[in-house]
Structure 1
Amino acid sequence: MTDFNDPGGLVAEVISALGLAAPVVAAPMAGGPTTPRLVIAAAAAGGAGLLAGG
């Protein structure tokens, strides 16, 4: 079982692999809540911004 609170665990590996400065992901939400502005803000803060398509 993975300990998600372990700094050397899966979360740390994903953050490192993606080159993120912060463990923040702006999840894609279809229908309008996720805008390019939100994605840009998440990326500017060091997280990952994902934009919904379709």
Structure 2
Amino acid sequence: MAEAEWRKSSYSGGQESDCLEVAPGRVRDSKNPGPVLDFSRTAFAGFVAAVKDSRFTR
């Protein structure tokens, strides 16, 4: 599997250890980047659409 290009929110304040990182179909904790959650392309696209549609609350 190719190396993922991980991204994090610009709202994370620049702290390297205070956020989630995402790559296509993958999510990990920046504090402990070893374990990775993998999702199907369809499931991940649904998650991204829900975030963009503000369907989650804090």
TM-score by length of 2: 0.26
Q: Which has the higher contact order (CA 8 A, sep 6+)?
A: 1
Structure whose alpha-carbon radius of gyration is higher: 1
Structure with the larger strand share: 2
TM-score when normalising by structure 1: 0.27
